């Protein structure tokens, strides 16, 4: 009887046959593998960036066309776009794991990978805490736990330093434009809304729809923003044209000359450079709180 009980207990404690490595993704799904993944395809630019940051780039065998940072990432084989990656190319790379996101990849892609028995690790961070959690999860997935912990500690320290610098200052009303036409802004629960708050501002669209909703320019300007920030998207020929906004001279931000542009990649990609975006954002909102020489 005792032997039977011991056998039962061991069967519950020991990994299932063929499963030596288990992890839980950000969708709460358990992913079981025979060993830690040595060949990873990333369908998420932020994930690609994180893997390089924690020193796990040797395990990255494939990425999307949008995975363009750091520059070394472009040397990895591409499997196409995020919405419709080339399945044949993915299979040819013989991945142990594909990292994907519910916010940018299609369900059809997940279904195809499932039919091919290729494990998928889902990510979808929507808050600053989620971003830090993602870095740590990827550290465990790639056996770079210590490196991931160091990255997270550094990010936390920089976030706290910004918050402390602006904590006692007035909070100006901020309009952040993700895209101009149609006008897309950060709403409830958006990472950018949280970053604006950490940088010492109040987003005038934070009470809008969930995530990144469409918004009318009239409604946005009616909130009398004191700072307007236009996200650029990797090119000086961005569709965000200052002249379109400068004609609204009655708006406090325009009257005060507080119309700025900043690199959207620093704000919209949930990787380590998110903190660079926060610091830049804080300098734009509260230039008086920072060394002017540091304001680029």
Question: What is the model's pLDDT at position 277?
Answer: 96
The token duo for 106 is 């299609």
Structural contact between residues 51 and 72, judged by C-beta atoms closer than 8 angstroms: no
Task: Evaluate whether 117 touches 30 at the Cβ level (below 8 Å).
Answer: no
- Residue ranges, CATH 3.40.50.1980, the chain: 17-149, 170-294
Say whether domain 17-149 belongs to CATH 3.40.50.1980.
yes
Each residue of 53-88: pLDDT tens digit? 999 999 999 999 999 999 999 999 999 998 889 999
CA distance 283 to 261: 12
pLDDT digits (tens, 9 = 90+) for 162-194: 999 999 999 999 999 998 889 999 999 999 999
CATH number of 170-294: 3.40.50.1980
pTM here is 0.86
How much is the pLDDT for 108?
86
Contact 138, 258 (CB under 8 A): no
pLDDT under 50 in the chain at which residues? 1-17, 236-237, 239-240, 293-296
């Amino acid at each position: 009887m005792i032997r039977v009980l011991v056998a039962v207990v061991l069967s519950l404690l020991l990994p299932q046959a063929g499963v030596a490595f288990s992890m839980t993704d950000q969708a709460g799904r358990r992913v079981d593998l025979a060993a830690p993944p040595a060949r990873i395809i990333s369908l998420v630019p932020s994930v690609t960036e994180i893997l390089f940051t924690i020193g796990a780039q040797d395990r990255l065998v494939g990425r999307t066309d949008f995975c363009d940072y750091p520059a070394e990432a472009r040397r990895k084989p591409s499997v196409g776009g995020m919405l419709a990656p080339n399945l044949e190319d993915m299979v040819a790379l013989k991945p142990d794991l594909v990292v994907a996101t519910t916010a940018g990849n299609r369900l059809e892609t997940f279904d195809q990978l499932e039919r091919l028995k290729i494990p998928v690790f889902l990510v979808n961070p929507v808050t600053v805490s989620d971003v830090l959690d993602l870095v740590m999860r990827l550290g465990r997935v790639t056996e770079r736990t210590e490196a991931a912990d160091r990255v997270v500690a550094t990010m936390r320290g920089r976030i706290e330093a910004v918050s402390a610098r602006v904590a006692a200052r007035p909070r100006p009303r901020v309009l952040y434009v993700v895209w101009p036409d149609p006008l897309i802004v950060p709403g409830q629960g958006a990472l950018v809304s949280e970053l604006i708050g950490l940088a010492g501002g109040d987003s005038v669209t934070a009470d809008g729809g969930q995530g990144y909703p469409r918004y009318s320019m009239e409604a946005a300007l009616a909130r009398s923003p004191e700072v307007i920030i236009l996200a650029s998207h990797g090119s000086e020929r961005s569709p965000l044209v200052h002249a379109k906004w400068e004609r609204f001279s009655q708006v406090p931000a325009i009257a005060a000359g507080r119309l700025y542009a900043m690199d959207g990649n620093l704000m919209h990609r949930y990787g380590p450079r998110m903190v660079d975006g926060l610091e830049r954002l804080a300098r734009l909102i509260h230039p008086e709180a920072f060394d002017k020489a540091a304001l680029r």
